[in-house]
């Protein structure tokens, strides 16, 4: 819920004579929904292209993919690649902790730090796109007509008691 009191609708402000043009913005930019998967950039590898197409398809099915989101999807794919590359290299070397060659002390593998930062970026980008469970709940996806009438709360209670 937004903080502060609710704004008065434009129509009421016009009727009362309190509408100020400098405070009411009519130049709201809206983007159209993308309905088919756009071509993946050519500089991506085959695995990255598959991930790009998969994420775009999921967002199209949810009905939330717009043209400005494509850059965020691309960033998400690149961060995923960075994370998986770091994890693969650490597994090959077999350790998350290495010995520093200068001091001889045990330190955290720098690849682990890069992987952790990439994972944080993945989580925040996923939330921006609505790919996390919490972000999906915040999305206002309408139910198809007739679905609301099919739901029977008494049936839920009977199933709970059985």
What is the residue extent of each domain of the chain?
34-136
Is the model's pLDDT at 23 over the cut of 90?
A: no
What is the pTM (predicted TM-score) of this model?
Answer: 0.67
The 10s digit of each residue's pLDDT in 113-140 is: 999 999 999 999 999 998 888 887 776 5
What CA–CA distance (Å, rounded) separates 119 from 17?
53
- Per-residue burial over 34-64, b if 16 or more Cβ lie within 10 Å, else e, is beeeeebeeebeeebbebbbebbeebbeeeb
Longest dimension (CA), the chain: 78
Is the model's pLDDT at 107 over the cut of 60?
A: yes
User: Beta-carbon neighbour count of residue 123 at 10 Å?
Assistant: 13
Q: pLDDT confidence of 142, banded at 50, 70, 90?
A: very low
State the average pLDDT for the chain: 83
Give the residues across from 97 on adjacent strands.
108
State percent of the chain over pLDDT 90. Answer: 43
């Amino acid at each position: 819920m937004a903080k502060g009191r609710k704004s008065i609708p434009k129509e009421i402000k016009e009727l009362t004579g309190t509408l100020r043009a400098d405070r009411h913005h009519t130049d709201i930019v809206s983007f159209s929904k993308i309905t088919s998967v756009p071509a993946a950039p050519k500089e991506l590898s085959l695995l990255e292209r598959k991930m790009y197409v998969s994420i775009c398809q999921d967002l199209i099915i949810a009905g939330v993919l717009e043209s400005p989101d494509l850059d965020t999807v691309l960033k998400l794919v690149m961060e995923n690649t960075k994370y998986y590359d770091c994890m693969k290299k650490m597994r090959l070397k077999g350790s998350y902790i290495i010995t520093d060659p200068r001091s001889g002390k045990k330190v955290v593998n720098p690849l682990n730090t890069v992987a952790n930062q990439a994972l944080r970026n993945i989580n925040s980008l996923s939330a921006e796109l609505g790919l996390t469970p919490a972000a999906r709940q915040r999305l206002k996806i309408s139910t198809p007509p007739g679905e609301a009438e099919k739901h029977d709360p008494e049936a839920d209670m009977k199933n709970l008691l059985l």
